[in-house]
A and B are shown apart, each in its own frame.
Chain A
Amino acid sequence: MWKIAFRNLLSKKTRTLLALVGLMIAVVGVVGLISISDGIKNMVNESLGQLQGVQVVQKDALSPMFSKVDMSLIDELKSFPEVDIVAPRVLGIASSIDGKPFLSGGGFSMGSAGEIVGIDPAIEGASGKTGFSSADITKGRFLKPSDTYSVVIGKSIADDYKKMVGSVIELNDIRFKVVGIWTTGSSSTDTMILMPIDIAKKMLGFPSDKASMLTVYTKDPAAAELISKKIELRIDSVDAKTGTEYAQDITGVLGSLDVFFWAISLIAVVVGGVGILNTMLMSVMERFRDFGILKAIGWSNGNIMTLVVSESIILGVVGGIAGLAVGYTLVEIAKPILGFPMQVTPTLAVTAVLLAASLGLVGGLYPARKASRLNPIEAIRYG
């Protein structure tokens, strides 16, 4: 049956090819859009999932970047028996690097914006804790309590601005010495520039008795989630979350982005489905006589339905695989150009092909039914 279905499709090459192209475009659309959403989700999980400890920020702050908490909370947080250390951090964006304003460096490249992270080297550096479980100093050293205008720059900043240990980097027109280069393990957070918290406050105009956030390291890392709940219960003015909780929050927001992308994809899918329906209907109408003969020589209605549906499923599967291949290639080409996180996950790949196959099935059902219901005498005589 499959062999005959293949032959039938190959006998009208142009029409088959056009149907495949229609379907491929739909699949490429789905793969392209969903890969963006999957890529963002993956990036969020990759970077936030590695955050160490509990992040304590101002209640309902849009992001840690816009949060201000009292430094006096440090002592209160330390009073929890499970807490090991509490590290204040100040966050901001470098409005210029080496005299180049923010966003001008690499066009769309996300690597061009430097994220200032002011830390207290007496707390974090000394304890060996850096905020990210997978962080690693690749060159040079971490900050020391005696450092002043020294920075540890993220790998992306080092690459984008061609810096190495010992180089001078100008942030907001202030000269800093690069003492180390680090990676957090995620390209999206490798734009972080670590500097002593007092210098960061001065540079960003941040009040000296406040911090953007307080990172609470627990003695037992597994206790982090429990502590975050305890903190929120005891201190009303803050939100306390672990990296995993952050990731979940953001993924939740991205869920609505997913719905939007799938809605757009659905249009492409419907167009692809109508294309298959049209192709199969044309193909069935051209072959009325053939179906009449098949019925006369003993094919049942079910046999004829199976043949037509097999043809459209083949169209669906081949269109799906081809669309996936083209979509994947385009995503791989677009990724470095757009500098956008796009990812074709195995789930997306399987979904795309299954979607195309089911389009084939659905698009073939009506034409198949039409073919199977033919009166053989009329089909042979007038087909």
Chain B
Amino acid sequence: MAKYTRTSERILYLFILPALAIYLFFYVYPMLTGLYYSLTSWDGMSKQKTFIGIKNYLDILKDQYTRTATVNTLIYTVVVTLFSNLIGLALALMLERRTRTNNVFRTVFFVPAVLSPVVAAFIWKYMYSPESGVINSLLKAGSLGALAQDWLGDPHLALISVMLVPLWQWGGNVMIVFLAGLMNIPEEQYESAKIDGASYFRRFIHVTLPGLRPAIVFNIIISTIGSFKTFDFIFILTYGSPGFTTEVLTLQIYKHALYTAKFGYGSAVAVMLTLLIVLFTIAELRVLTRNEDSYL
């Protein structure tokens, strides 16, 4: 009987082979190919791919432009992750009760999430236009012309202006996850806290936040990964300009792989970005799931 079970288990393993083959071919193989390219001096065109070991990685350490792009990417990731979650949480708390008005507002705040990032970027690009954009026009119409800025052209404002776009687009998305999380918190916990005399703030700290932990973990991890990988917003809005003020790692990968004929170097930057994402995700999971067994 035992022998029969072992044999049937082995046969069952065969059933995962097709899925495993697809996974290996479409996921593992491209990653390994990218890793291999990162160890070559391939220009992206020639048939010859010369193996150069870790030279590309050593070059990254010396490359001031990749360094600047890394710093910008980290700033972008931290700010967008933090604020998109704060905005999403605030919206979810405000719109938690199911009323007709709240339903309308939920839809309004969620609509940007439905847009393609490219479309969103183009909308904001026109809104930011210093001469004809709606932002400066409204400021001027409201006698606040002194606040009108060259939003994407001022080196001190460009990155901030770019970061506002994903906040606008992702805030509603984050809100939806938080709303789902809020619905899972038992009402009894709030009632008990109220009977114990807990204020709204204490109920938020001791009931809402612990209850939202799975949603917080999910939102922060997804926002972090999405922010590290950001490309379309910056490509459309600034293309990394002015100067290197909005240059990010994904843009560097794109330019090296497809413009400067340094595909190998671009692949090395891509591998570095992947490692950064993995490290950040592990660190966040460790911090956010401390004393919890159920999430990992």
Partners in one complex: no
Q: Which residues of A contact B (CB under 8 A)?
A: none
Q: Which residues of B contact A (CB under 8 A)?
A: none
